Amino acid sequence: MKKSILGVLKWIILLMLAIVMLVPFFWLISSSLKDKTQFYSNPPVYFPIPMHFENFVNAWVNIGFFRAILNSLVFALTFTIIVVFSSALAAYGFSRFKFPGKKVLFVILLLSMMLPTQIMTIPLFLMFKKLNMINTILPMLLPYCLGVPYHIFLIRQFMNIFLYGGAIRATPEALDEAAKIDGCGTMQIFFYIIGPMSTPTLIVSALLNFIWAWKDVWYSNIYLGRPERQTISVRLLSLIGDKSVEYGQMMAATVMMMLPVILLYFCAQKYFDEGITITELK
């Protein structure tokens, strides 16, 4: 009886927390179907009648949604591939090789995580302006070609603790020797052994990077001035006028903007949950 009561209480608490988490999504969808008068009504309108589905059509046309979503997709995918690959290589180096100053370099890497990215904005902008790279996605990609400190740390911890001290329970030397006996070189060990074993944390890193790039406004707004090259997150700002804001269209565009990320999460949910769980436990 005690276990049953505790089980019911647990599900009630989880249900309440789920409702709290879903309230913003409900309000977003509800707001995407309102007109201007319903936004300012008192008391608030939770279920708009009539529903203004034309907000989605107007948002699609006014911000050039298809072109913007295509720009965001190209940038997010390219950014994710570059960051995950370079961070995994850097993590592999910190995890497997011994070289002078390794610990000091790793500490500097961790300290760089505390450095706000905004303080580098002006120097980077001036540099890329002299290189004639403004209005391209190159300034948003090149600084990350050597990896991102957080993701280097995340993948390195997985390689060190989970592969060698957790599920695999083998020393790096043993894995290296077994692979070298089969004729593998250093990079072959990474691509055929360590990389596939690190799939859960690589997928977590890919999802986090994709979401960051998808919703980035700071760098996209600075480097992409031409409307035809702007991402969807920047094009949303065009709905903010000098005297009024198209809230209905903005909410509708936000709903459409969220759909690819939600779809991506559901497709990779198994690996994402597994990677997060392993990282937290270790």
Which phi and psi (to 5°) does residue 211 adopt? -65, -40
The pLDDT of 204-220, averaged and rounded, is 90
Q: How much is the mean pLDDT over the chain?
A: 84
Lowest mean pLDDT among 31-35, 55-59, 86-90, 237-241: 237-241
In the prediction, which pLDDT does 87 show?
A: 93
In the prediction, which pLDDT does 214 show?
A: 92
**189: closest CA among 179, 178, 202, 200?**
179
In the prediction, which pLDDT does 40 show?
A: 78
Which residue has better confidence, 261 or 75?
Answer: 75
44 DSSP 8-state letter: P
The pLDDT of 244-260, averaged and rounded, is 86
List, in order, residues 6 or more apart from 14 with CB less than 8 Å away. Answer: none
pLDDT greater than 50 at residue 282 = no
> Over pLDDT 70: what percentage of the chain?
90
Residue burial 145-167, b: 16+ Cβ < 10 Å; e: rest: eebbbbbbbbbbbbbbebbbeee
**30: closest CA among 248, 281, 269, 259?**
248
- What is the spatial distance between Cα 90 and Cα 81, in angstroms, rounded to a whole number? 14
- What is the spatial distance between Cα 174 and Cα 186, in angstroms, rounded to a whole number? 14
pLDDT in tens, 6-20: 888 889 999 999 999
**Is the Cβ–Cβ distance between 247 and 36 less than 8 Å?**
yes
Most confident of 12-21, 154-163, 164-173: 12-21
- What is the spatial distance between Cα 33 and Cα 53, in angstroms, rounded to a whole number? 6
pTM comes to 0.83
In the prediction, which pLDDT does 268 show?
A: 72
